[in-house]
A and B are shown apart, each in its own frame.
Chain A
Amino acid sequence: MRSFLSGNESIAHGSYEAGVRYASSYPGTPSTEILETLSRFPEVETEWAVNEKVALECVIGASLSGLRSLYASKHVGLNVAADPLMTLSYTGVNGGLLIVSADDPSMHSSQNEQDNRWYALSAKIPLFEPSDSQEAYELTKLLFDLSEKFDTPTLLRTTTRLSHSKCVVNIEGKRTEFKRLYKKDPQKYAAIPAYARKMKIRMMERLDKLRELSDNFSYNKIELRSKKLGIVTSGVSYNYVREAFKDASVLKITMSFPLPWKKIEQFCRSVDKVYVVEEVDPFIGEQIKAMGLNIQTISGSFEMSVEKLKKEILNEEIPKSIDVPVRPPVLCPGCPHRGVFYILHKLKLTVLGDIGCYSLAVLPPLCSMDFILCMGAGINALHTFSKLNNKKAVAVIGDSTFYHSGITGVLNSVYNKGTGTIIILDNMTTAMTGHQPHPGTGRNAKGGKTQKIPIENIVEACGVEHIRIVNPFDLEELKETISEEIERDEFSVIIARAPCALMVEKKEPLHINPEKCTGCNVCLSLDCPAIQKNGDKAGIISSLCNGCTLCKQICPFGAIE
């Protein structure tokens, strides 16, 4: 069947057909649609885990019991799951296990652009890089077989232009069920030092076999054309290479760890000049250099493209853009986060932030976030920032992020006598990635009902004595609560709760009375897309206005009705 699928959808279809019984993930761009697509197949049990470490460990449990299982996350998600990953490579698998890492070169929607191929090298597991959706589909199916055959987790690395590009894919649509038996075997599965040493030896032997596989792997392909120019490439970059240099000879590397040494040597011997083109780090390039071969690497920072390649190899200039005002993304009209950041800005507090839509509050005019690192970091950084320096500061974290990695931070702050205040922005969904459910929503990945675990119950159980729940659309209440809590010398939590503006029906739009408006611009400091300057005065675009009333509350002249 000819279908038009994204890389993520292809991976979902491939794993469905390979008989995957269980899949787990935590939402993160550009990986989210893998689990979303899989959750539509009734044969596959899919779960949003509270974080990636949990997801991988659940996937490992399913594999241990003999079922084929899939883990998917964005690149930084695999950092969270790195602990189980490193030892999983020692124990190996029972049911086939595939790990998908969706990297984000150019950081379209991420805090860094780390290259997760190094995880394969470090964990000594086989690594595959598809170049388009068709290949992603085919490889996914194959990798469960390989996982079982070589007793190893397999790593599929995609990048944004594969995850979110669609192309024509021929899919079979036929599913085959697989189930292996579980046999008690602590020497294989229980990594105590005495057994782990033996596991390590088995793992190194496995690596030799995988090296052989790589040289015979049909997706590692030499395409001989011109003798003058040879390009070794992997993943999406293959497409840029083929388009920019139609006559060049190409070694397309699909299994990029362990590398096909013999094919690489053979290829380098048959062409005069060799470039290695890959997205982000010179992962393949450095390994080829270590083989003693004379090559030049083209990689480094940001996405690869046809024009980047032509610049590097032919020295062709890339045409420049016209200078126009930037248009950064903004918090939506009616966003429940806006009021909180408006108040934090007014109170001139240091704000240690986290990952989510609210990172948009870093930019002017709200300018109210000072620090963003990774999920959960804000709470822990606040602990020392405030306790050791007696500074007035708060940490801000979203609801889904709180469940992901905020709980341990709260526990730590209480235990170690922290003094800070954290504000949990509870918009009752994982908003940034497209409204996936989490433990506070009472719904699961399949859309079914489940137990709802409210944030306040968790915070209370962690031992927090001062917990306040506020309405983020009431600026007066917000200001008072935050001001009171930061004066306290004990750790406290404020939960600002209102549903994401994209999930609720719009209220009646407001309008600005031009007779009363003096053009003071106070309402513009909310950074609401619905408020725009019309000549000297402000105006509200009623098709955008959500009727949240924040602007009405701050207008000094009562001009907003």
Chain B
Amino acid sequence: MMGTAFYIAAFIAILATVMVITRYNIMHALLYLVVSLLAVAVVLYLYGAPFMAALEVIVYAGAIMVLLIFFVMMLNLGKESAAQEKLWLKPRIWIFPSLLCIILLGELVFLVLQNHQPVSEVKMVNPKEVGIALFGPYIMAVELTGMLLMAGIVGAYHLGRQKEKTLHRFLENDQS
């Protein structure tokens, strides 16, 4: 039954996300996020989008998260970072943002619950239809996305490069 599977996956997704936002150690948080993403992939599959579920697993959980994990490992953020995080995340700090976000959630829920349409089955959308739409009416957006990715690559390369330290010749002697 789709309902049960959905509720289990949704529960895991929410639980894993709550774990993500409460962790002090970044590594743990990332791994919980991977769990959360996988649960969301299940939900996507249940909503009749198997191709999207696959992309979620491959691109999000696979590529992006792995990129983040490697990045964190590269910076070598260990116990100090976790201690710092613990110091910053005092319970007091949570109160106001949570209150604000609960109001926002309340409004979202209220808006979503305005849907009074009769219960119907989810509709399956084939990957083929997606492909046709993507390279049909949305072709221009696809081109733009390509440009965006290109810019991301160039930007990442440019920003990530370690610049050589250049000092003014008058200051060179003072550096010791």
Are chains A and B native binding partners rather than an unrelated pairing?
Answer: no
Q: Which residues of A are interface residues toward B (Cβ below 8 A)?
A: none
Q: Which residues of B are interface residues toward A (Cβ below 8 A)?
A: none
